[in-house]
Structure 1
Amino acid sequence: MTAVSWNIHRARGKDGRVDPERVLAVLGEEVCPPGTADILALQEADEEPRPHRGILDIAGVEAATGLGWAHGDPALRWSVESHGFLGAILFLPTAATIRHGDLIDLPGRCHRGAVSLEIGLKGRTVRVVTTHLSLGQPLRLVQMRTIGQYLMRRPRMQTILLGDLNEWRPWGGLAFRPGLTLLPLEGPARPSFPATRPLLPLDRVLSAPGCVEDLEVLDGPGIRAASDHRPVRARVRAEG
């Protein structure tokens, strides 16, 4: 299973222009062409002020990537005008079955949240969680603890956590320790921010120990122009 995560910075490129059409073109050409990924997670993909209206052409994203929007159920969006939950949006293969979904409110000075979907795909049952964590480590600790407590109330299954996790330390941080999250979540760290010259591994794909393989930071002229983050792509093998 291949997963891609990209913080599109509300479609504001390095030139300061908000250009959803540019993001759409880059998604299809450089980030997630059809047939290259099973999971696409976007962050900062809704407007910041309430009611957090969507900024992308969802049908266009589906056509460009070959994946289907996972938030058709209004219960999986912040509002009927949103495309996701506080900018976090998931796209999955049209053959995927969503068996359960939740929106998780996360504490913090800025309203943060996570989307959790339990899906059936390629004969596997897996949970996909995408989020955009706080810049501050104390808040990341509380946010990850909140996610961990939620996961402990759900049935046991392999979990993939991906998104802009804002952990700059290449060796990891306190927020990802199993004693805090209640789950062992691991994955390689590769610099993805800023897009023009990556120094910090803010964007991550995590799962059970040893399951995240071949993590790469994507690059291209469109990627560098469209957002201040580079996307990451990884292969996630089945646990056990």
Structure 2
Amino acid sequence: MFSCVSWNIHRGRGNDGVVDPARTARVLAAEVCPPGQDALILQEADEEVPPHRGVLDLAEVEAATGLSHVHGDAAHRWGDGSHGFLGTIVFLHPDARVEDIALVDLPGRCHRGAVVVDLTLRGRALRLVGTHLSLAQALRAAQMRTIGQHLFRRTARPTILCGDLNEWRPWGGLALSRRITGLPLAGPAPATFPVGRPVLPLDRVLVTPPARVVSARVLDGPGIRMASDHRPLAAQVAL
């Protein structure tokens, strides 16, 4: 079983408008990422405009979650001051062996991207893809087509796609369809947005066979409601 949490942290700017890295770390520890998680995938965790500086205290996040930041090599970040790639940051269980990290630029009016991590954990090989897609359906379709074409060129392995996919349709819409992605993506669609009373399933954890999502749980708590406009999504994936 592989456990992961995906959360759009709204550039660290809480609902009070204050960027507070220490608060984000506290909320991660207390309400989002308890000990035993295998992966944490954050979106909007760098500043929105170039040079996309990081908004976290990485040491505090690692201490709070017990997970390791995988973007230490400058080649795996947008730039020197970034913590990830266009706001997407991946943290993994310290026992995970990272085999490859690829950054994929996605088309659109706003610069978007995906982080593709090939890893082995507890003897199981898998691929983790974190991303944040456009608000516009046509651009989401183009972005998912780009991700699908990138993955098509790689050696096949069980794949977990997660992040703020901005898809409000529970059935997934055109962008998440196999016709666009070339991938048989599957997974539940619990509502994660807005944080106070979620009605839209904007955040997803989707997988390709033989992986399957065993459970997907939307997290809640006073810290979560203060720290972001999205609720985190925690999933258990059978590989």
Instruction: Check whether TM > 0.5.
Output: yes
Match of 1:44 in 2: 44
Match of 2:183 in 1: 183
Match of 2:57 in 1: 57
Deviation, 1:224, is: 0.5
Q: What CA deviation, in whole Å up to 9, does each residue of 1:112-150 have, x standing for no partner?
A: 000001001111110000000000000000000000000
Match of 1:96 in 2: 96
CA RMSD of aligned residues (A): 0.9
Q: Counterparts of 1:1-240 in structure 2 under 5 Å?
A: 1-35=2-36, 37-208=37-208, 211-238=212-239
**SS of the residue 2:139 aligns to:** helix
Unaligned runs of 5+ residues in structure 2 are none
CA distance in 2, matches of 1:82, 1:33: 25
Higher mean alpha-carbon deviation, 193-202 vs 172-181, is at: 172-181
Q: What CA deviation, in whole Å up to 9, does each residue of 1:62-85 have, x standing for no partner?
A: 000000001111111001111000
TM-score where L is the length of structure 1: 0.97
**SS of the residue 1:176 aligns to:** coil
The answer to whether the 8 A contact 2:5-2:41 is kept is yes
**SS of the residue 1:175 aligns to:** coil
Deviation, 1:151, is: 0.2
CA distance in 2, matches of 1:69, 1:17: 24
Deviation, 1:193, is: 0.4
CA distance in 1, matches of 2:76, 2:181: 23
Deviation, 1:106, is: 0.1
Q: What CA deviation, in whole Å up to 9, does each residue of 1:129-181 have, x standing for no partner?
A: 00000000000000000000000000010110000000001122111111211
Amino acid of the structure 2 residue aligned with 1:129: V
The answer to whether the 8 A contact 2:70-2:91 is kept is yes
TM-score where L is the length of structure 2: 0.97
CA distance in 2, matches of 1:120, 1:95: 9
Deviation, 1:95, is: 1.1
Unaligned runs of 5+ residues in structure 1 are none
CA distance in 2, matches of 1:166, 1:24: 25
The answer to whether the 8 A contact 2:187-2:204 is kept is yes
Amino acid of the structure 1 residue aligned with 2:117: L
CA distance in 2, matches of 1:199, 1:217: 12
**SS of the residue 2:175 aligns to:** helix
Amino acid of the structure 2 residue aligned with 1:144: M
CA distance in 1, matches of 2:228, 2:136: 21
Q: What CA deviation, in whole Å up to 9, does each residue of 1:1-58 have, x standing for no partner?
A: 00100000011112222222211110010000222x1010000000112111111011
**SS of the residue 1:131 aligns to:** strand
Higher mean alpha-carbon deviation, 73-82 vs 15-24, is at: 15-24
Amino acid of the structure 2 residue aligned with 1:173: G
**Which segments of structure 1 move beyond 6 Å, counting only runs of 4 or more?**
none
